[in-house]
Amino acid sequence: MKILFFGPHPLRGGGVAYYQQALAKAFFEKGKEVVALSLATHFRAKKSYIRMEKNPNYEFAEIYELVSNKLYYFRGIEPALDCESPEEEDTFRKFLREIRPDIVHFHASRPASLIRICREFGVRTIVSLHDYWFICNSGFLCRYDNQVCEGPDDGSNCARFCDTYVVPYLGAKERLRQILPHRLIDAAKYFRDRWSSRFIGHADYMDNLLNNSKNKNNSLLAEVKPANLERWSFRINFMREMLNQYADFIIAVSNKTKEIFAENGINPHKIGVLHSGFEHANNFFSLKKREKDFINFAYIGPIWREKGLHILLKAFQKIGKDYNCNLYVYGKISMGNYGYIMKNIIRKMGMSKIIFKGEFNYNDLPSIYEDIDIQIIPPIIPDTSPRTVWEALSSGTPLIASNIGGIPDFVEDGVNGLLFETGNPDDLVKTMKMVLDDRSLIGKLRKGISKLKTIDQHSDELIEIYENLLGTSSNYQCDNTLKEMV
């Protein structure tokens, strides 16, 4: 069986990339052939083409890139480009003719029409929903004013809250990218973010974020221009067509993910919930925690506003001086100036108990977790299935986490962690005090942690799904959704 993965580059980091990498290895060890194709944007490319990457340290899959000069990833300038592009489609057709896969597993599809191209070749397709890109151009279901979005509706929410014509900065950025080399733009953005973050009052900034999350911003409820509505209406209707008519099966990585996509027009009978496996499900669990007379909390993950670090900082301000505890912040700063502002806020707080560690090597996670008693995951968005949850639980570290998205699939309140009201720093304070006032609770929560599904177990599940779609399975037990399909 030859399997084609289309998604993030498997060797360039990120949760889905690590997942693809581990999955390819598991398939390779089971005698399956894997080819990985990712989208690469190069603004000076005159046309799209396929580029092969040779990596002597990675023998589990052949790695290719579909190079394009268009911006397909989050918040592109033109929603129609997310849907279809003849040039990229023709390049993909030529690649399919050469590779001749049995199954194409989309971990992302930019443009979405590539799913339809597979149908032309009679190749069965599976789409894994790792984010909300098919129904949300930003991928997060989070409006730029910091409020969670219920979905595109008929496209009006996209046109009203996230369109490049509504948010001048986004439009300006894309126009600059058309006339200047992208590396120059990235350098200018880096220095702008580093400079501007020093002049933002930390109290006002966090309070504004919190207030926006709580209160509907009526100033944004202006009438939507028909031309803008038409652009976004085309996008959501196209995405629904690709998933409902051309994908053979859709995998939701959590129950909430399936619910949200079903609410936004994706056929629920075509979606099966399948939790991903974790390649370190066995390795991390043997960690022994270092004994100490204080509690170490930690934030580990990307420092994006959608991930809610400001919620945690606001909460820790209220308890850090009264309790014997520390807060470690691990994460890469990216996606705008939010991360630099958070780093500067920590500096201005002048609290020695908040230690900003910044970017870390993924291989150092076991040693990092040895000192962490409780990990806090405070996203304000309905994260589909945060990888950092698996990392914490696999290391034997209980969680305090937002009660949103796919998190409750893995964190059972009072058993292996504690849940708090999303976006509410006061409720987070209350939850953290439960641990600080009763340290024995940490031990109880640790005992409640069960081992996660391994990547080996997960690869067997996927192989059975592939074989079922191909009609070659002789012993398959699955949910009724897939049985009805095949």
Indicate the range of 241-250, 268-277, 421-430, 470-479 predicted with least confidence: 470-479
Residue 67 lies in a domain: yes
Residue 285's pLDDT is what?
67
Q: pLDDT tier at 187 (50, 70, 90 boundaries)? A: low
Indicate the range of 112-116, 171-175, 347-351 predicted with least confidence: 171-175
User: Is the confidence at residue 468, as pLDDT, over 90?
Assistant: yes
Find the mean pLDDT for residues 48-62. 89
Say if residue 247 is in the same domain as residue 321: no
Q: pLDDT tier at 321 (50, 70, 90 boundaries)? A: confident
User: Is the confidence at residue 69, as pLDDT, over 90?
Assistant: no
Residue 233's pLDDT is what?
96
Number of independent structural domains in the chain: 2
Q: Which of 374, 289, 364 is nearest to 327 (CA)?
A: 374
Phi then psi for residue 304, to 5 deg, are: -115, 155
Spatial separation of the C-alpha atoms in residues 401 and 311, rounded to whole Å: 11
Spatial separation of the C-alpha atoms in residues 16 and 145, rounded to whole Å: 27
Residue 279 lies in a domain: no
* Torsion angle of the four alpha carbons 157, 161, 165, 169, in this order, in degrees rounded to the nearest 10: -150
The CATH number of the domain holding residue 217 is 3.40.50.2000
Residue 150's pLDDT is what?
87
Sequence-distant (6+) residues with CB within 8 A of 143 are: 149, 157, 161, 162
Say if residue 464 is in the same domain as residue 362: no
CB atoms within 10 A of CB 87: 13
Residue 246's pLDDT is what?
97
Residue 435 lies in a domain: yes
Greater confidence (398 vs 287) lies with 398
Spatial separation of the C-alpha atoms in residues 291 and 370, rounded to whole Å: 9
Indicate the range of 33-37, 317-321, 374-378, 396-400 predicted with least confidence: 317-321
Range of the domain at 288: 284-447
Say if residue 427 is in the same domain as residue 473: no
Angle between the N-to-C axes of helices 387-394 and 15-29, in degrees from 0 to 180, rounded to the nearest 10: 70
Q: pLDDT tier at 346 (50, 70, 90 boundaries)? A: confident
Say if residue 254 is in the same domain as residue 342: no
Residue 486's pLDDT is what?
39
pLDDT in tens, 284-317: 766 778 788 899 999 999 998 899 999 999 999 9
User: Is the confidence at residue 483, as pLDDT, over 90?
Assistant: no
Say if residue 34 is in the same domain as residue 104: yes
Q: How many CA atoms lie within 13 A of 65 on its CB side?
A: 16
User: Is the confidence at residue 357, as pLDDT, over 80?
Assistant: yes
Greater confidence (211 vs 81) lies with 81
Residue 476's pLDDT is what?
41
Angle between the N-to-C axes of helices 338-349 and 309-319, in degrees from 0 to 180, rounded to the nearest 10: 10
pLDDT in tens, 245-278: 999 999 999 999 999 999 999 999 999 999 999 9
User: Is the confidence at residue 365, as pLDDT, over 70?
Assistant: yes
Residue 358 lies in a domain: yes
Find the mean pLDDT for residues 433-462. 95
Indicate the range of 61-75, 168-182, 394-408, 437-451 predicted with least confidence: 168-182
Residue 61 lies in a domain: yes
Say if residue 3 is in the same domain as residue 141: yes
Residue 89's pLDDT is what?
95
By three-state DSSP, how is residue 67 classified? strand
Residue 239's pLDDT is what?
97
Say if residue 443 is in the same domain as residue 461: no
> What percent of the chain has pLDDT above 70?
84
Find the mean pLDDT for residues 40-49. 81
Say if residue 475 is in the same domain as residue 433: no
Say if residue 435 is in the same domain as residue 466: no
Say if residue 224 is in the same domain as residue 135: yes
Which tokens is 468 given? 């079922």
Greater confidence (58 vs 119) lies with 119
User: Is the confidence at residue 477, as pLDDT, over 80?
Assistant: no
User: Is the confidence at residue 398, as pLDDT, over 90?
Assistant: yes
Say if residue 28 is in the same domain as residue 162: yes
Q: Which of 54, 35, 58, 48 is nearest to 104 (CA)?
A: 35
Cβ atoms of residues 33 and 3 within 8 Å: yes
Say if residue 430 is in the same domain as residue 464: no
Residue 24 lies in a domain: yes
pTM: 0.89
Spatial separation of the C-alpha atoms in residues 342 and 200, rounded to whole Å: 10
Residue 189 lies in a domain: yes
Residue 418 lies in a domain: yes
By three-state DSSP, how is residue 90 classified? helix
Find the mean pLDDT for residues 385-394. 93
Q: pLDDT tier at 203 (50, 70, 90 boundaries)? A: low
Q: pLDDT tier at 478 (50, 70, 90 boundaries)? A: very low
